[in-house]
């Protein structure tokens, strides 16, 4: 008998009137882990624990939306055209979240959340980076339940036993690229934590290191995959994205190399929420008066 990793016999289960999908459950677990790790790292940098929850409230839904949009845009033939159901584009529990769209649109949500919370985005991104990598790895378990993200046929003992739709429903043994990426994600998270602790990267450089390391490994894993994907110039779209994003992250690290010798920026920036502006003005006025710089304070001194 061929040694292999069996595919789960189920991908969802009923919980009363609800149907719980394993893919969605893995995504949710990954989000909770990322928020928890980010909270600890953020507090260690001098931030408040509730800052992470405030930013995540914007970043998470934006990220899920962006990931789904990227998937649908890059694989439109799965949802549109003859014999296809466009409404399936909303069935996120069946799989299909592009990390590129998730990070890009999620970053927009994080920017909005950070401004509302009055924190600086760059140090926040540095704090949350390892958690994002771990969340991606946990999310890949959802692909295992859905029998997707596999490589070419293989006889290695850790091959995954799946049934490829394109093979007429015939089971086979394939490289478990979902597992390769899971392990790579965990390695990236550990690498970022160690390097950040050793060199105190700061200024968004820890996040850039995560992006560079992740895309480097993702590019190699994409070369192993044989599941459905569109190609450009002979390479999968995600392979090109890995190359482009990795180059951009490395360029950022190179351009900001001099910042490595500087003290990381403060985690809190100017609070831009409407409710906090009167309080901020009052605090500035208090500082000015105590320092003897206010005009009223000067007149009192002269008239003594």
Give the pLDDT means over successive 10-residue stretches in the chain (304 positions): 78 83 92 96 93 96 93 88 84 80 93 95 95 96 89 91 66 91 97 93 93 96 88 91 96 86 66 42 47 43 40
Tell me the residue ranges of DSSP E strands in the chain: 5-6, 12-15, 18-21, 160-163, 171-174, 231-232, 235-236
Please say whether the beta carbons of 246 and 205 come within 8 A: no
What's the whole-model pTM score?
Answer: 0.81
SS3 162: strand
SS3 294: coil
Q: 235 forms bridges with which residues in the sheet?
A: 232
- For the record, the structure tokens of 270 come out as 């100017």
The per-residue pLDDT for 112 is: 97
Give the closest residue to 124 by CA, choosing from 256, 285, 302, 269: 269
How many CB atoms neighbour CB 69 within 10 A?
17
How many CB atoms neighbour CB 137 within 10 A?
23
The per-residue pLDDT for 84 is: 84
By DSSP bridging, strand 160-163 and strand 171-174 are antiparallel
| DSSP letters for 62-128 | HHHHHHHHHHHHH-GGGTSSTT--GGGGG-GGGS---HHHHHHHHHHHHHHHHHHHTB-HHHHHHHH
Give the closest residue to 218 by CA, choosing from 195, 194, 249: 249
């Amino acid at each position: 008998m061929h040694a292999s990793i069996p595919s789960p016999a189920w991908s969802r289960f009923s919980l009363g009137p609800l149907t719980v999908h394993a893919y969605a459950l893995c995504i949710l677990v990954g989000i909770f882990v990322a928020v928890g790790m980010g909270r600890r790292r953020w507090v260690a940098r001098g931030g408040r624990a509730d800052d992470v929850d405030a930013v995540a409230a914007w970043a998470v839904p934006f990220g899920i939306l962006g990931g789904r949009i990227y998937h649908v845009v890059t694989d439109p033939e799965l949802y549109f055209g003859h014999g296809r159901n466009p409404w399936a584009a909303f069935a996120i529990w069946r799989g299909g979240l592009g990390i590129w769209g998730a990070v890009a649109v999620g970053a927009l949500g994080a920017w909005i959340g950070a401004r509302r919370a009055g924190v600086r985005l760059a140090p926040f991104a540095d704090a949350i980076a390892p958690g994002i990598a771990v969340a991606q790895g946990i999310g890949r378990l959802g692909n295992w339940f859905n029998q997707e993200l596999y490589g070419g046929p293989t006889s290695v003992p850790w091959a995954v036993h799946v049934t490829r739709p394109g093979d007429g429903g015939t089971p086979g043994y394939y490289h478990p690229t979902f597992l390769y990426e899971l392990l790579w994600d965990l390695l990236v998270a550990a690498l970022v934590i160690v390097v950040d602790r050793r060199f105190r990267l700061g200024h968004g450089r820890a996040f850039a290191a995560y992006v560079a390391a992740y895309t480097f490994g993702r590019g190699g894993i994409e070369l192993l995959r044989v599941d459905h994907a569109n190609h450009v110039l002979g390479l999968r779209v995600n392979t090109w994205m890995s190359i482009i994003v990795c180059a951009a992250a490395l360029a950022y690290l190179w351009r900001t190399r001099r910042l490595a010798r500087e003290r990381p920026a403060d985690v809190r920036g100017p609070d831009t929420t409407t409710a906090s502006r009167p309080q901020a003005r009052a605090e500035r006025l208090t500082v000015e008066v105590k320092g003897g710089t206010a005009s009223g304070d000067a007149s009192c001194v002269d008239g003594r």
